[in-house]
Amino acid sequence: MKKTLIATSLATAMASAVSLSALTLPSVAAAEVSANVGVVSNYFFRGVTQTDDGAAVQGGLDYGHDSGFYAGTWASTVDFGDGTSYELDLYAGYGGSFGDLGYDVGYIYYAYPDGDDLDFGEIYGSLSYSYLTAGLAYTVNSQASGDDAAFDTGDLYYYAGVDVPFGDSGYSGSLYYGYYTFENDSSTNELDYGHWSAGLSKDVGDFGSVGFNLEMADISGDHAWADSNSDDLKLWISWSKSF
């Protein structure tokens, strides 16, 4: 995601860092290596476009062990208007469950190899029960600097979401809300913002999965680093396939 005070979007992935629409973590039910590819009409990270409202090509490679350990990498094209062309994420973590309660903890590093001082890293954790998931991510290292720098160390992102399958139809619906607080903005809260997304996806078998999504961020025009239309409702579509 874009981290400067110019124009910039989980997840996610994470569901993007830890955004439900930006990043897909590997299954840890059995030891395996898997891959995923996808195309989106607009790449959002935590409510803000990373492609200047353009399309993106994405993909990743994951390893999951039956102990609960997983590691992987994920990449996407981006367009920040400054020559930065792609994002490369590296992550590792551990997931498991206590009865019906699932948990996931780990670290993710967001790298922009052809960008200028954009890289940052987060530790994250989440809990899940049935169709519900809630978690947070905390920025522990960043190339951003300065007293008024957003996306510096100490930033905190909270999120909660629900993902519900519609029987055996192959359709599922999702609803997600996230809130971003910035450490260097704690006195004025001018940069802090919330965002939400809703989606409908369809499993199309060997052809992968397609999705239709709505995205909206509560970002005012006073945010110089945010897209001027970030507070408008936006529709984006996606296709992805795992191997």
Instruction: Point out the least confidently predicted range of 16-30, 59-73, 195-209.
Output: 16-30
- What CATH number should be reported for the domain holding residue 90? 2.40.160.40
Residue 230 lies in a domain: yes
Residue 17 in domain: no
| Domain count of the fold of the chain | 1
Instruction: Flag whether pLDDT at 7 surpasses 70.
Output: no
Using left for φ > 0, alpha for ψ between -120 and 50, and beta otherwise, residue 146 falls in left
In a 13 Å sphere around the CA of 163, the CA atoms on its Cβ side amount to 14
Q: What is the C-alpha separation between 91 and 116, in angstroms, rounded?
A: 21
Structural domain includes residue 11: no
What is the residue-averaged pLDDT of the chain?
A: 85
CA 165 – CA 235 distance, rounded (Å): 21
Q: Is residue 171 part of a domain?
A: yes
Check residues 6 and 43 and name the one with the higher pLDDT.
Answer: 43
DSSP state of 88: E
Find the domain containing 133 and state its range. Answer: 32-242
- Classify residue 223: in a domain, yes or no: yes
For the segment 76-82, the average pLDDT, to the nearest whole number, is 94
pLDDT tens for 104-116 read: 999 999 999 999 8
CA distance 217 to 97: 32
- In this structure, what token pair is assigned to residue 218? 């509560």
Q: Is residue 237 part of a domain?
A: yes
User: What pLDDT is stored for residue 223 in this prediction?
Assistant: 57
103 within a domain of the structure (yes/no):
yes
Q: What angle do CA 101, 74, 72 make, to 5 degrees?
A: 55
| Res 163: pLDDT | 97
For residue range 187-225, list pLDDT tens digits in order: 555 788 999 999 999 999 999 999 999 999 988 655 555
**3 within domain boundaries:** no
